[in-house]
Amino acid sequence: MRRFRSAVVLLTAIALVTVACTRNHPLLNRSPGGGFSGGGIGGGQGAGSGIEPSGEAPVGLGIKPDHADVNYCSLPGVPSDQEDMDIYDAKGSSGGPTPAVIYVHGGGWVVGDKAKERPYPGMTKPVVTDWITGLQDKGILVAAVNYPLAIHFPMPLGIEGVKCAVRFLRAKAGTYNIDPNRIGAFGGSAGGHLVALLDVTNGSGMWEAGSYLNESSKVEAVVDLFGPTDISLLAQERSSPIVARVLDHVFDGSDNFAKYSPVTYADSANVPPILIMNGEQDPGVPPQQAQALYDKLHSAGAPAQLVLVKNAGHGFVPMPSSATINPSLGQIDDDIVGWFTHHLG
């Protein structure tokens, strides 16, 4: 009964954060992942929990995977729908093994689904569809993954799931015609946090659990889209009892904020190339988060690039709504695809 009451309190807190974040603008309604509110891509995997973020209802990505709901791991106690992936085969390849990229959805670490996105009003097509098809057209396989959600499985289960997904692709390279030496990862918001953590702990041996432990979870390129990078700083930037409670739950206590912050490990030049993109007007994940990770990587001599999108909020939503973001959504799409085609070959 105590655990049930705690869950109800947490769900109420997240719902209140949603209202606070979306009252005056379309923040999180379009984005690939939504701060702490479960906006952006969300609603699918976590909808049955009673969380119903504001904004448009979640929609499918508009494309069908070539291999749906493929189980990639066996983490203890985690249901199969939180450790499976949809695989979109590469197109236009020469027939040889192709690069592969995993996509990690957002949703405040507590909601979201690999096959759904929460659009903003007037949006004609889910943006993740463009990202996936753009990569496919360049001969890159995309695996959109679900991972253990912190509503029931606080960290480190989330990062353990993502690393297990990479190991799965390497183990099944022959099955899916993948080049095991050309694997990347990208994600938005909470998903951005997870892929950034994957980047900076690449090859460290940290958080390796579940299946295919004889394989490596190394990746060769990463794109972090508006993902939190310093959880302690984020707690100060988003200071409120509600946000503090959510963060405390997700990361299993404030003592673990540094442990699960990508900036903590960003002191080596020996990390995969990472493109970091964040809205300059993002109140959910302020641009200082992206700047902090970039500055530390740059100081270490790591291959990092930072793009701060002008007039953009969380998920690159125009702020104010009449503003024009720069770079444009089309250029952002091109930058994501170009980053992987350049670094994965």
Beta-strand runs (E) in 112-177: 116-117, 141-145
CA distance 192 to 38: 14
Span 277-299, pLDDT tens digits: 999 999 999 999 999 999 999 99
Beta-strand runs (E) in 61-175: 67-71, 84-88, 98-104, 116-117, 141-145
Nearest to 167 by CA among 260, 63, 75: 75
Compute the radius of gyration of the chain from its Cα atoms. Answer: 18
Neighbouring C-alpha atoms within 13 Å toward the C-beta of 303: 12
Beta bridge partners of residue 141, listed in sequence order:
100
Tens place of pLDDT per residue across the chain (345 aa): 333 334 433 433 443 333 333 333 222 223 333 333 333 322 233 332 222 234 467 788 889 999 999 999 999 999 999 999 999 999 976 779 999 999 999 999 999 999 998 765 545 556 899 999 999 999 999 999 999 999 999 999 999 999 999 999 999 999 999 999 999 999 999 999 999 999 999 989 999 999 999 999 999 999 999 999 999 999 999 888 888 889 999 999 999 999 999 999 999 999 999 999 999 999 999 999 999 999 999 999 999 999 999 999 998 889 988 899 999 989 999 999 999 999 998
- What was the pLDDT predicted at 257? 97
Angle (nearest 5°) at CA 53 between 52 and 58: 85
Cα–Cα distances in Å, from 117 out to 35, 273, 325? 14, 27, 21
Domain 2-344 grouped into CATH 3.40.50.300:
no
CA distance 232 to 337: 31
Span 145-200, pLDDT tens digits: 999 999 999 999 999 999 999 999 999 999 999 999 999 999 999 999 999 999 99
Answer for the pair 286, 229: CB distance below 8 angstroms, yes or no.
no
Query: Is the overall model pTM greater than 0.85, yes or no?
Result: yes
Residue 36's φ and ψ, nearest 5 degrees, are -110, 5
- Alpha helices by DSSP H, listed for 37-76, are none
Nearest to 339 by CA among 93, 148, 140, 181: 140
